[in-house]
């Protein structure tokens, strides 16, 4: 069984959309979305530097657009399940047929702007913990007032909180953790610091007409499969202020019988986690159109 997954913020790199514009219709599609949401996706995906695309309000629509473009380039594909990490959940919901492309881009534009505004209220950030026992690390983070914002499995937890709390973590890391790495993000995503963004997303969600998913959808909230489109949208709204449980998503992939995992553009992060947490599962990351033939072969073998 094939699982198709979409990465979250931090996966973007300067110029990563450039080779995709050579595919027929891609530039026209990106320019139409750009006009609709008031953000030049072509510019930011081709010419902007790392600092520009680190901006939450830019990175999030860029990632969803890239995921949708690369999925469409695969042609007809019906995976056994779909899931996304953080903002990648919007991509996954669209691939599953819950949202239209236009709805997805409008929602992610609101999400990015609202989370950027929330991040500006207090100086916050995120740091990745590599190694260690998850229970020990989570207890240590809570003692420092930090939130385990992403529990990613494969020995990785991402802590989020104020810069002062993260500085204390760097000085006093949990027992067994090899390294604490500060992430280049603009705020403490998936924590109470993002609560103001929830209201903005809830208002935007009223304009949506979600359909029930045509493909099994696995949710970040608890790793459960969700069969109702309205519930998926509710989870997308609340998700910005709650932890990402990618570890539980991967456990569900195993229960569903996953044999291959394909990560849409800009792939790499989630396949890396899967290689460590899902031994024996074939993985492939879509980075450029050069990866499309291999991806189609994987789909043919495992769908």
Residues contacting 172, CB < 8 A, separation 6+: 144
d(Cα 143, Cα 151) in Å, to the nearest integer? 17
Options 34, 127, 137, 190, the catalytic residue: 190
d(Cα 121, Cα 119) in Å, to the nearest integer? 6
Options 86, 127, 137, 219, the catalytic residue: 86
* DSSP H or E stretch at residue 91: helix 88-95
86 is catalytic: yes
Which strand ranges, in their side-by-side order, compose the sheet holding 81-84? Answer: 225-226, 216-218, 81-84, 2-6, 260-263, 282-285
SS3 label, residue 256: helix
Strand partners, 179: 130
Burial of 50 (0-12, 13-18, 19+ CB in 10 A): exposed
195 is catalytic: no
The DSSP 8-state label assigned to residue 7 in this structure reads -
Euclidean distance between the first and the last CA atom of the chain, given in angstroms as a whole number: 6
d(Cα 30, Cα 36) in Å, to the nearest integer? 10
| Residue 47: Cβ within 10 Å count | 13
Q: Which residues are catalytic?
A: 86, 190
């Amino acid at each position: 069984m094939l699982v198709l997954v979409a990465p979250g913020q931090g996966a973007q790199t300067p110029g990563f959309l450039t080779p995709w514009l050579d595919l027929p219709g891609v530039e026209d599609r990106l320019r139409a979305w750009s006009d609709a949401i008031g953000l030049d996706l072509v510019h930011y995906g081709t010419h902007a530097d790392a600092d520009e695309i680190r901006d939450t309000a830019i990175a999030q629509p860029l990632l969803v657009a890239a995921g949708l473009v690369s999925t469409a380039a695969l042609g007809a594909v019906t995976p056994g399940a779909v899931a996304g990490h953080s903002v990648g959940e919007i991509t996954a919901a669209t691939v599953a047929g819950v949202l239209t492309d236009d709805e997805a881009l409008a929602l992610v534009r609101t999400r990015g702007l609202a989370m950027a505004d929330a991040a500006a209220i207090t100086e916050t950030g995120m740091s990745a913990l590599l190694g260690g026992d998850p229970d020990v690390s989570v207890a240590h983070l809570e003692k420092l007032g930090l939130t385990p914002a992403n529990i990613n499995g494969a020995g990785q937890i991402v802590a989020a909180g104020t810069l002062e709390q993260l500085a204390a973590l760097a000085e006093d890391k949990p027992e067994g953790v090899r390294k604490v790495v500060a992430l280049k993000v603009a705020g403490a995503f998936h924590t109470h610091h993002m609560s103001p963004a929830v209201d903005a997303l809830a208002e935007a969600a009223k304009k949506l007409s979600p359909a029930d998913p045509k493909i099994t959808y696995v949710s970040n909230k608890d790793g459960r499969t969700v069969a109702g489109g309205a519930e998926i949208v509710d989870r997308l709204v609340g998700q910005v202020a709650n932890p990402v449980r990618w570890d539980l998503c991967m456990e569900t992939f195993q229960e569903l019988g996953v044999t291959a995992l394909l990560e849409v553009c800009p792939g790499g992060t989630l396949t890396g986690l899967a290689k460590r947490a899902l031994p024996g599962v074939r993985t492939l990351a879509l980075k450029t159109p050069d990866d499309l033939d291999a991806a189609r072969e994987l789909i043919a073998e495992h769908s």
